[in-house]
Amino acid sequence: MDLPRTIVDAAAVLRRREASSRELTEAALERVARDPHNAWLTRAEANALAQADAADLRLAAGEAPLLCGVPWACKDIIGTKGVETTAGSRILKGYVPPYSATVVDRLDASGAVMLGKTNLDEFAMGSSNENSAFGAVTNPWDHGRVPGGSSGGSAVAVAAGQAVFALGTDTGGSIRQPAALCGVTGMKPTYGRVSRSGVVAFASSLDQVGPFAASVEDAAIICEALFGHDPLDATTLPLPAEDLRRELTAGVRGMRLGVPREYFVKGMEPGVEKAVRATLAVYAELGAELVEVSLPSTDRGLAVYYVLQPAEASANLARYDGVRFGLRVEGPDLVETYRRTRGAGFGPEVKRRIILGTYALSAGYYDAYYGQAQKVRTVIKREFDAVFQKVDALLTPTSPGVAFVLGAKANDPLAMYLNDIYTLPVNIAGLPGISIPCGLSEGLPVGLQIIANSYREATLFRVAAAYERATEHHRSRPPAALGQRAAA
C-alpha cells in the first residue's frame, strides 16, 4: 500500500479505519528495505511493529493524539533505548543506549512509530552527508548528487516517501539545508525550545532538534509534541504549551517581511536566485509588504561559527577515549590507547574540527579566537533583534546552490562550509528558521528560508503556510527512476 504523504493524511486514514498502524508500518518498512540511497543505518523492525500494535489499541479506544500510529524516522545522533546509536561514526559502532532522548520519549508517548535510524555526517559534521563512516547518502532527485547534511538520511526518508516525518538536528543548517536540497520542509526551533537530553552532543550552544515533513502543518504538529521544559536539559525554558497552528490560515496580508540585502550576493546560483525572487513576488501578491533590511555582520557569521562550533566539539568529543563506551583500540599505556582509539574511530572531518577547536581553546589563543567570536556572536544577535523591531519575519534563500555532485567539494573544506552561509547565522543567534520548497532549478529543488524572532514559531509557520497554500511546490516529488532528473 502507499504511505500517506502527511501526518494529517495518515491520521485521517487511521481514524477512518482504511488502514491500521501495523499496515502503514509494514508498508513503510518495506520501502526502507528497498532504500537505494543509503539513507538508513538501522531498521528497528521488531520495535516498530510492537509500537504499531500498541498504537492500534489506542486508536481503537478512540482517544489518541494526532501522531499516534504514524511511522517516522530518527537521525542516528538521537539516542534510542535498545536501538544502536552511532552518530555516523566508527567510534560508536555497536553502542546501544540504556535510555532514549527526551524527544524520542515524547514521540513514544504520542504513539508515533519509529522505523529506525537514519544516516548522517559523522557527529553531524558536514553539509553533504558524505562524511558518514557508513557511506554517503544520495539524493532521490538525482542519485549522483548529495542530499545535503548533516541530516541527509532523514531528509531523504521523507522526500522518498519512506517515512511520513523525521527528526534531525540543526547546528548550523543541518535540517534546513538538506530539506532545501531534497525538496521537503525542515524546521529549526528557537534554541531552548526542544530538549537536547539524550542527543549526542556536537556544539552545545548551537545544537537543536527539529522536524522534517511534507507540509508546514506537519512541522507544527511535530513541534507541539516536542516543545517544552525538560529538567534533564537546563537550556530548555518553562514556557506554557502553545498551539503552534493557531495562525496557519491567517495569511500574510499586512505583514512586513524583511529581505536582507546581504543574502543576495555574488556566488548564489542564478537558478536559485530566480526561484527565490519569484517567491518574493508571490508574497507581495498575497498582500505582504516586502522591506529591504540589512544584517551587516552576515559575512562574519561563517568565521564566528567555525570558531565556536569546533571549540565546543573539541570539548564534547573528549569523552570518546576508549575507556567508558564505544570503540577501544588497546595500546601499551593509557595515552597510547586514547591515541589509537581516537585515530581509528574518528573520520577526517571530525579530526579536522577537533584540531581547529583545540587550537582555538588553547592557552594564548582563547581570547584571540573563542573570546572574540563570542563578542561577534553578540553583535550578530543584536542586529537580528534590531531588524525584528521593523519586520515580522525574514525571507532568504536556504542554500546558495542546488544539490551538487557527489565528491565535487570533498577536497575543499571551505567550499563545503560555504553551503551553510545563509543558515548558520540563525543558530548563532538562537532563532527559529524553516526551509520550504519554492521551485526547481535545473530540475533540482530550491528552498526558501523564513526566519522569525525568538519564540515566534507560530509566526514562522503562518508565513510559511501562506506560501504553501498559494503554490504547489511542496507537492513536487523526486522522479521514480534513479538518476532520472525531474523537469524544471
Catalytic machinery residues: 75, 150, 174
* Neighbour count for residue 333 (Cβ, 10 Å): 8
* Neighbour count for residue 482 (Cβ, 10 Å): 13
| Cell numbers given for 361 | 581553546
- Cβ contact 183:286 at 8 Å: no
CA angle 269, 271, 275 (to 5 degrees): 120
Q: How far apart are the first and last CA of the chain?
A: 29
Give me the amino acid identity at 79: G
CA angle 217, 219, 220 (to 5 degrees): 65
Q: At what angle do helices 270-285 and 457-470 cross, to 10 degrees?
A: 100
Residues paired with residue 185 on neighbouring β-strands, in sequence order: 213
- Cβ contact 195:221 at 8 Å: no
Number of helical H runs and strand E runs in the chain? 15, 11
d(CA 188, CA 159): 18
Torsion of CA 65, 40, 178, 406, to 10 degrees: -170
- Cβ contact 167:110 at 8 Å: no
- Cβ contact 11:24 at 8 Å: no
* Neighbour count for residue 469 (Cβ, 10 Å): 13
- Cβ contact 19:33 at 8 Å: no
d(CA 86, CA 97): 10
Give me the amino acid identity at 294: S
d(CA 442, CA 27): 32
